Structure formats: structure tokens, C-alpha cells
Structure 1
Amino acid sequence: MTVVRALQPPPEAPLQVARVLHTAGFEAWFVGGCVRDRLLGREVGDWDLTTNARPEQVIPLFARTIPTGIAHGTVTVVLGGSSIEVTTYRVELGYSDGRRPDGVAFTDDLRRDLERRDFTINAMAWDPDRGLLVDPFGGQADLADRCLRAVGRAFDRFSEDGLRTLRAIRFATVLDFDIEPLTFAAIRETLAVFRQVSAERIHVELVKILGSPHAGRGLSWLIESGLLDEFLPGLPLEASSIADALRVAVPSLTVRCALLFGELHDPAAGLTRLKFSLAQRRDILAVLASREIDPEAVLTDADARRFVAKVGKENLDAIEGYQAALSADQTAWSGLFGRLSRCGARDAPVTARELALTGHDVMSRLALPPSREVGRIVQALIERVLEAPELNDAETLAALLPEVAASLRPDER
């Protein structure tokens, strides 16, 4: 147990929960990620407490609690609009499925609780009122050295829960740490355990890796460790070039996913397998569709507006970021996006929704029933406006309706 330098105390609600436990005669320590992030000076997300009090002793101390995981010793205390998880010191009774403990046993020994945790930097406990830090495995030293190290034997930690291998790379990527060599070696040694991890859990960690400023480094670790080939088989041997692209890519999850999944034979299948949402898949695939476009074929302002209509205004920034990271020769694509800016194509009317005349207006003015013909007339109006945006005025378009309708071939009506 050591005395730590003055740290900014936790917010009032979690601090009050700890003090209530102390007043009732129990130990209470902030533990895990909140301690790590406070020592690093990073913003803390969740404030978690560990205590020697059993759940049935915690619950009566507070006006509102939620039995989040009673069997595993966790009670959520709701106080002042905040939710604070309070978990009894525990040891875990084996992992037969490589995902979750077969059972837990409560203990009164804080050290035994800390030694079940994944990494040294997550295995520290802090009492801010007394200024004390319990750090039995050298977490502070590893923070100072910017080193990610497993608690105890890395092979054992990763064999308990296969997700820890991916979490190792995620933590090192997000924090910009090195991975201790024996810890990294154990990732490849426990790939068989990782294969039991669900796609949903992989998705969460992968998104955090790709969202990091150091995503390129993280992808290099995924490749070197063999993890990437486990959940994204089929990437080409030169996948390291993707890591290089990620190093210069804009901080956009859509762009970075496009760079990674775009190397697969079937990007849509890969995104679906790893549980990306429908909206995420749509955006990523829209960016990948830009690979079929020849930027040198966009020769006029009207071409530029047609390009915007084809790819969608909402995808322009992502496509620009993707092509900037991907293309060795930026001349053609930078020229295209320069034209978009000069001619105002980003703001020009390019879809039916942006027309000054609606489908209902077309039916009313031409006395037409709902039909495919109405849709074709609207599309013809869009083509006129793409050529000359100044035509996008209700009366101007209305005056063009007879001519546009007459210009359609009989089989188009």
C-alpha cells in the first residue's frame, strides 16, 4: 500500500457511496479503469467500487439500488443521477468456456480480488479520502513506462477469457502503450480460446481500436498476433498496407472501416458477420462504391453535380477521407473535390427531395394519377436541374412540365 500524490477526487456521488460504506464499517476502494485513467490524467467514464461488504449488506445502506449481478457480487447504487457499481471482493472459480467464470466466491482479501484482473494497470485500488493506493502488481510502474502487462502469467489470464487478447491490443492502441513481450506472445498461444469469443464482443473492441488515433499501430498488432486472421479471414498478404493507410486516415470510423473491410472479397459479408449495424454497413459500402468511379471522368460542373447525386451528399466527407488515405496519386481526386467546392455542387439540388416541385405537384398540374410516369417526369426534372441548378424554381419547373412529359418515350410513360 502506498501513498499517492494528490489526485483530483472522484465526483461527489461515487465519493459519497464510498463514504457510506466506510461509515458502516466496510472497506471501499475505487478500482479498475477509473483508477488507471485518473492516474493518467484521462477523463474517467465509470466509477466502480470494490468492497468487503456482501451484496445483502450493501443494499440496505442506500435508498435506491439495482441488483445488477447479485450472483457475481455486483450491486448498482443510484445516487444523485449517477449509477455506481459496487462489487464484493471475489475470486473466480475456473473458466471452462473461455468466456466467463464458472462461478465466484467472495473473499475479504482485496489482493485476491485484484489478482484475478486482466492487466496490471487495471489491478490497482484507490482510497481518495486517505490518499492510499493498493498496487500489488506494479501497475504504477507500468503506467510510467507506458507498458501493458498481464497480471501474473499472461497465458493463464488469456486462457480464462479469450476476449482479453483483443482487449490487450485495444488498451495498448488507445493508450499508445507498448505490449510487454511475454504478454504479446501469449496472444498467439491462446488463439484457440479467442475463437470462442462472440462476434458482438469482437465488434465492440474492434470499433475502439479503429477509432483510436493509433489505429494503424493497433492493426499491425492484430496482424502480427494472428488475431485479425481469426475474425477477418481472407485479407491479402499485403494487409500491412492497410495499417499504413490507417496511420494517415482521418478520424472517421466509416473511413477506417472502409479501408479495412474494403480489402475483403465480400466487404458486406464481413461487416454483417461482425455485427455492424444496417446504417453503418450502408455508409461504409457507399464509401467503397466510390472505387468504381473514375474521378478524371468528372469534366464539367454538371458532371460534378451528378457525382454528388450518385454518391450522396452525406457520404462526401467520408469518400474524400477514404480516397486521401488510399490513393497514391492524389491529383485526380483532389481535383474532383476542388471542383465540387468551386461549383457549389455540395449544396446544389441533386435529389427529388430537393426539387422545388414535388411528385404531388406534378400530378396536380398534369392531372395524372400516381404512376411510374410521375416518377420518370420527376427524374427528368432532376436531370434538367443537374445541368442548370438555376432552374430549380417551382414556377420555372412547372412551365417545363409539358415539354418534359412530351419528351418521354411511350414506353417510359
Structure 2
Amino acid sequence: MKTFPLEIALKPSVQFLYDRFRAAGYELYIVGGFVRDRLLNRPGGDIDFATSARPAEMIRLFERVVRTGIKYGTCTILIGTDSYEVTTYRTEGRYEDRRRPSKVDFGTDLLADLERRDFTINAFAYDIARGEVIDAFLGQEDLHSKCIRTIGNAEDRFNEDALRMMRAARLVGELNFSLDIECLLGMKACAKQLSQVSAERLRDELSKLLLSDHPVAGLRALEKGTLLSYLLPELVKTQGVMQNAFHAHDVYEHTLAVVDAVAKYKRTLATKDILKNNITLLLAALLHDIGKPQTRKEGELEGQVSFLNHEQEGAKMSQVILKRLKFSKRDIETVVLLVREHMIYNTSKWSDGGVRRWLNRVGIENKDRLIALVRADRVGRGVTERMTEVAREKENADLEHFERRIDDLIASQTAFKISDLKIGGTELMEVFSLSPSPLIGEVLQHLLEKVLEDPALNTDKKLLAEAEIFLKSKVF
């Protein structure tokens, strides 16, 4: 076991927490990722604590305690506006469901508690009084070598909790580290156990991986550990699917390049808050070409390849995949839309009415995400004899011009949806003595289509006149 000094500026509430435990005769240490991140000079997240006190004793010591996971020794202690998770030292029995130990015994030894953790870089403890890091498993060496290594035998750790394999890949993405060879071999040996992990837990880890600073590194770790075959078998099927002369990579490598481009955008586009930490954009990047293997056709000439309607097929597949992983209905709808609409070309030839109809179809709230996906898709194609730097610059210039047209049209306060029309269903029913029925929706949709083509029609008088013409054309 090693110890070494580390100065950490802590809130007064942390000191209060520590003093209360120590005054009562109990140990209290900061543990886990917070210590690791401070050693890496990364912003620290939530602070977790380990203690020799039992849950009942924590409840006795503090006025406000939430019994977060009392069966497993975890309480959340509230001090002022701050909250801290504190867990009793534990030793664990067998993991019969590959998720949680079948039996948890509370302990009195910090080192025994640290030994049950997943990776060496997550097994640090911080002695608040001494200002020292306790490194029982050479985690500091692994930080220096940028290595993810399990505590003890990798297969044992992954068989205990199969989600640890996803966590390893996520740490690769967050820290841009590499998997230790034993860790990688353990993942390969235990990959099939991933099928026994709940969809919700897989969803959460995949989301954290994609939102990390280096998601492609994390995806590569999943690939090398053969976890992708169990998590996203549809993505594995894109490997080796060659594309046309405008692409430098197969579909899989292109997909990773697009994810990488999106990850870079979300770090740099400070003015586009909607793109930051937005899981839907990253999921769309990951799934945007998922339909290509099913739609690939070869032409008569060598190298002639097409993927007609792959965006439609991909949208259907994306819905199935995201439902399987228990993403929210709202996220699924957004990703499906982005995948379905990502093929945007020749926008310089679109009329203003065409741009307005496009905005009506995709929604103003999605236009920034969709433009970012299209731009990343083009970056991900790479440079070839057919897709030269000059050609790509022209495409990007056209896309920037398209963005400016969109912004100008939005600024003009043109109607893009039915609620933007100057009249609504109530006025239609009053003026034309109509009862509530689907016909009202038909009329409003017709009026919107007219206004999308000619915004000057969006006045009460002109819309009522157009509605009268439409109603007369209907057979009652």
C-alpha cells in the first residue's frame, strides 16, 4: 500500500461531516472517482465517502439522512444545501445475478472495502485529516500509464457484475485510456454475460460513453472486447460494408468518424447549447447509416454502389434498437427523425417554400441537431479522388448558406406550423358553422401548406377566403 500527499480544497460541509464522524469514533474517507479525477487534474464530480459507521449510526449522528440504499449500507446525508453519499465498509458474497452481491456484510476495514471495487483507478481513498491519498492497488501507476486494470482477476470481476465491462469501456471514453490486456481478455471471455444485464443499465452506460470526451475510444473498447455483438449487433453488421467512391471508409469506420466529429462539435460550439451533452445527436450519429447493409446494391460498373432509401430503413431500425435499450419515447422520436432526415443535398436549389416545408417537417427545435449531423456526416466521408477537399469545401459552403437562409426565414416570423396561423379551429367553426371533426384539421393543414409556399397569405381575411375555397371543394 502506498500513500502520498494531495492537497484538495474541500467545502466546509465536508469538514463538518468528517468532524462529526471522527468525534463519534468512526473513520471516514473520500473514495472513488472524485480522488481519481483530482489526481488527473480533472473537475471533480460528486464526492462519495466510505465509513466504519453502520447506517443506524449515521441516522443517529445526523438530523437529515435519506436511506438511499440502506440494505447495502448507503445513506445520503444532507448538510445545508449539500448532500453526500456515505457507505459503510463492506465485504461481499457471491454475485448470483451478475448485478448485485447475494449477501453484503458490513466491515470495519478500509482496505477490505477498497478491495471489492472494480478498477484500480477507482480504488483510491483520501484521508481528509492527513491530506493523503491511500493507494492500495497501484492505481497511481495505472493513471500514469493510462491503463484500465481490474482489481484481482478480470474474469472474476466481470462475472460478479457484467456491467463492469461497459464501465471499463466508458472509462476509456472518459479518460482516453487503454484496456489492460488481462482486462481485455476478461471482457472477451465474459462478453456473453452482457445479455443478462438489464436494458436500463446498458442504456445508461452507453449514454455516458457517448457523452464522454472520447466516445470513439470507448466504442473501440466495446468492439475489441466483443461486447458490441451483444449490445448493438446491427452496428457490427456494418463492418466491411464498402461504400462508393465518395467515401474513404466502410460503413462502420465512417460511422465512428461521424461520432468523433459530433463529439468535437459539442465541445466547441459554445453558442449552440442544444448540441452540448445531447444524447440524441450522438445516438443519431451512431445509427445514421445503420440501414446501409440492408439496402446496399451494386451497379454494373466496378465500384458503383448505392444505398437507396437507407435513411428510411435506418429510421425503422433505430426505433427498434432504442426501444430495446429502453430510451425515452421523446429521445426515440428525435433520433428517428434525425436518421430519417439526414440526407440533405443540393440545398442551393431549394426554393424558400421548400426550406419552409423542410422546417415544418423537422421542427425548428431539431434544425441545429440535424445540421450538425449532416456536417459531421460529410466530415466522416474522408477525402477520396471523387470527394476532394475542394468538393467538400463547396458542400460546406452550401450548407452554411442553407443555415443562413433558415435563420433569416425564422427571423421573418413566417408560419412553420399550424399554431403559427392567424386563425385556428375555433374561427373556422364559427365562420363556417362547422362542428368539431377531423375536417377542421384538414382545413388547417391545407392552409399551412399554402402559407409555407406564400407567407403573405397568413392573414385572417386571406386564410378565411382560402378556407372557403377548400371547403367548397369538399363533398359533404
Q: Which residue of 2 aligns with 1:345?
A: 409
Structure 1 unaligned runs (5+)?
Answer: none
Letter in 1 for 2:4: V
| Residues 17-96 of structure 1 mapped to structure 2, 5 A cutoff | 17-96=17-96
Q: Which residue of 2 aligns with 1:277?
A: 328
3-state DSSP of counterpart to 2:99: coil
1:116 matches 2:116 = yes
Q: Which residue of 1 aligns with 2:9?
A: 8
Q: How big is each residue's C-alpha offset from its partner over 1:240-286, in whole Å with a ceiling of 9 and x where there is no partner?
A: 33112111123342222112233156211100000110000011011
2:6 and 2:132 in contact (8 A); partners too:
no
1:258 matches 2:275 = no
The partner residue of 2:374 within 320, 323, 326 is 323
Q: CA deviation at 1:333?
A: 7.5
2:119 and 2:148 in contact (8 A); partners too:
yes
Letter in 2 for 1:115: E
2:258 and 2:286 in contact (8 A); partners too:
no
State the alpha-carbon separation in 2 of the partners of residues 41 and 12 from structure 1: 21
Q: How big is each residue's C-alpha offset from its partner over 1:19-43, in whole Å with a ceiling of 9 and x where there is no partner?
A: 1111112211111122112222333
Q: CA deviation at 1:118?
A: 0.5
State the alpha-carbon separation in 1 of the partners of residues 78 and 220 from structure 2: 41
Seen in structure 2, the aligned counterparts of structure 1 residues 230 and 37 have a Cα distance that, compared at 3 Å, is same
3-state DSSP of counterpart to 1:20: helix
State the alpha-carbon separation in 2 of the partners of residues 15 and 76 from structure 1: 16
1:390 matches 2:456 = yes
User: Alignment identity in percent?
Assistant: 36
Q: CA deviation at 1:369?
A: 2.9
3-state DSSP of counterpart to 1:218: helix
* Of 114-123 and 96-105, the range deviating more from structure 2: 96-105
Aligned-residue Cα RMSD (Å) equals 2.3
Q: Which residue of 2 aligns with 1:246?
A: 259
Letter in 2 for 1:406: I
Q: CA deviation at 1:403?
A: 4.3
1:267 matches 2:330 = no
State the alpha-carbon separation in 2 of the partners of residues 90 and 200 from structure 1: 26
Q: Which residue of 2 aligns with 1:381?
A: 447
3-state DSSP of counterpart to 2:118: coil
Q: CA deviation at 1:323?
A: 1.4
State the alpha-carbon separation in 2 of the partners of residues 398 and 359 from structure 1: 15
2:216 and 2:259 in contact (8 A); partners too:
yes
State the alpha-carbon separation in 2 of the partners of residues 192 and 383 from structure 1: 52
1:298 and 1:336 in contact (8 A); partners too:
no
Q: CA deviation at 1:104?
A: 1.7
Q: CA deviation at 1:368?
A: 3.0
3-state DSSP of counterpart to 1:237: coil
3-state DSSP of counterpart to 2:196: coil
* Of 313-322 and 262-271, the range deviating more from structure 2: 262-271
The partner residue of 1:286 within 312, 322, 337 is 337
State the alpha-carbon separation in 1 of the partners of residues 440 and 119 from structure 2: 64
3-state DSSP of counterpart to 2:234: coil
3-state DSSP of counterpart to 1:117: coil
Q: How big is each residue's C-alpha offset from its partner over 1:343-375, in whole Å with a ceiling of 9 and x where there is no partner?
A: 623443111111122221232333333334433
3-state DSSP of counterpart to 2:66: strand
1:124 and 1:133 in contact (8 A); partners too:
yes
State the alpha-carbon separation in 2 of the partners of residues 368 and 408 from structure 1: 11
TM-score (norm 2): 0.80
Q: How big is each residue's C-alpha offset from its partner over 1:35-90, in whole Å with a ceiling of 9 and x where there is no partner?
A: 11222233333222112222233322112223333332223222213222222211
* Of 196-205 and 58-67, the range deviating more from structure 2: 58-67
Seen in structure 2, the aligned counterparts of structure 1 residues 267 and 403 have a Cα distance that, compared at 3 Å, is closer
1:14 and 1:47 in contact (8 A); partners too:
no
3-state DSSP of counterpart to 1:151: coil
State the alpha-carbon separation in 2 of the partners of residues 339 and 192 from structure 1: 46
Q: Which residue of 2 aligns with 1:358?
A: 424
Q: Which residue of 2 aligns with 1:146?
A: 146
State the alpha-carbon separation in 2 of the partners of residues 389 and 213 from structure 1: 43
1:405 matches 2:468 = yes
3-state DSSP of counterpart to 1:349: coil
1:371 matches 2:434 = no
Seen in structure 2, the aligned counterparts of structure 1 residues 412 and 24 have a Cα distance that, compared at 3 Å, is farther
2:343 and 2:374 in contact (8 A); partners too:
no
* Of 160-169 and 330-339, the range deviating more from structure 2: 330-339
3-state DSSP of counterpart to 1:183: helix
State the alpha-carbon separation in 1 of the partners of residues 358 and 474 from structure 2: 27
2:211 and 2:279 in contact (8 A); partners too:
yes
3-state DSSP of counterpart to 1:230: helix
TM-score (norm 1): 0.91
Letter in 2 for 1:369: S
Structure 2 unaligned runs (5+)?
Answer: 241-251, 267-277, 292-313, 382-386
Q: CA deviation at 1:296?
A: 5.1
* Of 308-317 and 366-375, the range deviating more from structure 2: 366-375
State the alpha-carbon separation in 1 of the partners of residues 397 and 369 from structure 2: 14
State the alpha-carbon separation in 1 of the partners of residues 124 and 116 from structure 2: 12
1:320 and 1:337 in contact (8 A); partners too:
no
State the alpha-carbon separation in 2 of the partners of residues 303 and 123 from structure 1: 57
Q: How big is each residue's C-alpha offset from its partner over 1:281-309, in whole Å with a ceiling of 9 and x where there is no partner?
A: 01101111214665559521111111111
Letter in 1 for 2:66: I
Q: CA deviation at 1:178?
A: 2.0
Seen in structure 2, the aligned counterparts of structure 1 residues 123 and 400 have a Cα distance that, compared at 3 Å, is closer
1:307 matches 2:352 = no
